[in-house]
Amino acid sequence: MPRSTTPLSDPAQWIICEHCDSLYHATPLNKGETAYCLRCAGVLSRGHRMTIEQLLALSIAAGIMFVFANVFPVISISMKGLYNQVTLWGSVEALAQGQITLIALVAGLAIILAPALQIALLFWVLVHAQRDEIAPGFKICMRTLEHLRPWSMLEVCLLGILVAIIKLGGMLDVHPGVGLWAMAMLMVLIVLIAGKDIRRLWDDLGVQPE
Amino acid sequence: MNGIPFAHERKVTLCHVCGYVCPEDAHDCPRCDSAVHRRKPNSLVRTWAFLIAGLIFYIPANTLPVMFTTLLGSASENTIMSGVIEFAEGGSWDIAILIFIASVLVPCVKFLVLGMLLVTCQRRSQWAMRERSRLYRFIELIGYWSMLDVLVVALVAALVQFRGLSTIEPRLGILFFGLVVVMTMLAAMSFDPRLIWDAEVEDV
């Protein structure tokens, strides 16, 4: 089949599959619709589920939940009259011992720093986007959000807390703390707001290429 | 195959950060200023490097203890597998299977799948391209769940600190295990799934 090699006129009308480099005409999608690549069956794009205002509201909620999840203990235990509890930070600190401190940095990034930055940056770009403004430092915020995404591991952390509860449950009294419930809600919120969907802001705000 | 054009045939490249359709000769995305490459730079070599580093770390991760427990004077050290076996023997089959999947199966599947993708791409194989593409997305999705064990050890070690009665400390194995997860994540990120499809056009 002869293939055209003329340059494209308007970049905004096109969409490229990130998994296989296929080029398609972009079609607007409705809420809940998903476009799949015909060549590799990967997701091309999804219809937006939420408005900017809703995303902003959820990012504020995520901020509050993040504070709760970090201030309150996630698990407390008691054994023969002795009592102890742990916060997220406390568990990261427990890894920071001599030779293995490096892994404490990874864990700290995964369960505290990356989610915190994600929430803060999302709030910053969304609070401006909601007024149809491009936030100062918009480009660097959006780029950082892209690079943070794979390193934010709240889902894994939540499962880890549950496993730890069961693991210790066999030998002592274990009580889930307020932090655990906050963590569970935070995880859901992060999944909703911090996905690839946020790339829509580039188009919604009409950021002009230079 | 079914006539869908490839982006490079129309002299455009995708910006992986913002999704903009950039002209092929652009070094930086005109919209978000990130570096744009037609394919991820040195994708195969970098992926091999991270993969091999991960494999090397995988040995101490499994042989060295990850946790040191003292309970009423008696001390014991656990490796990842002995932790799984302990759960299974204690009757918690569900947790044993969960940890086994996250800590043993997921990293092994990642090594095998990435290795297979690298070899088939280097041979410019046209075998099962769609399925290989799916496999790549699958391992990208499951990769970070291996951090589970690291976080469990962190929580447990922070909690059980009753001097004289019982203490739990993390041990060197957990560092290597964490590094395995990081290395395999970096390997998956440096692999460019578009290379799977390049065999279709660039040989001709």
For residues A27 and A111, state if they share a domain. Answer: no
- 8-state DSSP, B145: G
Distances (CA, A) of B124 to A73, A113, B111, B120, B168: 53, 41, 20, 6, 50
Q: Mutate one of B69, B97, B155, B202 to test the A interface: name it (highest A CB count within 10 A).
A: B155
Say if residue A32's pLDDT is above 90.
no
Q: How far is the C-alpha of B170 from the C-alpha of A180, rounded, in Å?
A: 22
A156 located within any domain: yes
How many alpha carbons fall within 13 Å on the CB side of residue B91?
A: 2
- pLDDT band per the 50, 70, 90 thresholds, residue B82: very high
A65 located within any domain: yes
A118 located within any domain: yes
**What is the domain range of residue A38?**
11-46
Task: Give which of B200, B189, B196 is closest to B9, Cα–Cα.
Answer: B200
- What number is the ipTM of this complex? 0.90
Q: pLDDT tens-digit profile of B31-61? A: 999 999 999 999 999 999 999 999 999 999 9
Q: Give chain A positions within 8 Å (CB) of B189.
A: 150
For residues A39 and A56, state if they share a domain. Answer: no
A90 located within any domain: yes
For residue B91, what are its two tokens?
């009757």
Alpha-carbon gap: A153 to the closest alpha carbon of chain B (Å): 7
Beta bridge partners of A149: none
For residues A15 and A108, state if they share a domain. Answer: no
Q: Give chain B positions within 8 Å (CB) of A150.
A: 144, 185, 189
What pLDDT does residue B59 have? 96
For residues A131 and A156, state if they share a domain. Answer: yes
- pLDDT band per the 50, 70, 90 thresholds, residue A174: very high
Q: Give chain A positions within 8 Å (CB) of B16.
A: 18, 146
For residues A26 and A73, state if they share a domain. Answer: no
Number of domains present in the structure of chain A = 2
Say if residue A2's pLDDT is above 50.
no
The mean pLDDT value for A10-25 works out to 89
What pLDDT does residue A71 have? 97
CB A185 within 8 A of CB A72: no
| Interchain contact, B7 vs A23, CB within 8 Å | yes
Alpha-carbon gap: A89 to the closest alpha carbon of chain B (Å): 10
For residues A16 and A115, state if they share a domain. Answer: no
For residues A97 and A127, state if they share a domain. Answer: yes
For residues A36 and A118, state if they share a domain. Answer: no
Shortest CA distance from B160: residue in chain A: A84
For residues A25 and A88, state if they share a domain. Answer: no
Say if residue A1's pLDDT is above 50.
no
For residues A89 and A32, state if they share a domain. Answer: no
Shortest CA distance from A23: residue in chain B: B7
Q: How far is the C-alpha of A67 from the C-alpha of A185, rounded, in Å?
A: 12
Task: Give which of A130, A97, A134, A119 is closest to A191, Cα–Cα.
Answer: A119
Cα R_g (chain A), whole angstroms = 22
Nearest-CB residue to B174 (from A15, A74, A100) = A100
A194 located within any domain: yes
Beta bridge partners of B13: B22
Nearest-CB residue to B8 (from A21, A202, A207) = A21
Q: How far is the C-alpha of A88 from the C-alpha of B76, rounded, in Å?
A: 26
Q: pLDDT tens-digit profile of B68-81? A: 999 888 899 999 99
For residue B60, what are its two tokens?
């101490």
Shortest CA distance from A2: residue in chain B: B3
Alpha-carbon gap: B162 to the closest alpha carbon of chain A (Å): 7
For residues A188 and A167, state if they share a domain. Answer: yes
Distance of alpha carbon B33 from the chain centroid: 28
Q: How far is the C-alpha of B14 from the C-alpha of B16, rounded, in Å?
A: 6
Q: Give chain A positions within 8 Å (CB) of B14.
A: 16, 18, 21
**Which SS3 state, helix, strand or coil, does residue A107 take?**
helix
Over chain A, what is the mean pLDDT?
A: 91
Angle (CA) B7 B114 B102, round 5°: 120
| Interchain contact, B12 vs A146, CB within 8 Å | no
- pLDDT band per the 50, 70, 90 thresholds, residue B202: low
Say if residue A6's pLDDT is above 60.
no
The mean pLDDT value for B172-178 works out to 95
Q: pLDDT tens-digit profile of A41-83? A: 999 999 988 999 999 999 999 999 999 999 999 999 998 888 9
For residues A41 and A69, state if they share a domain. Answer: no
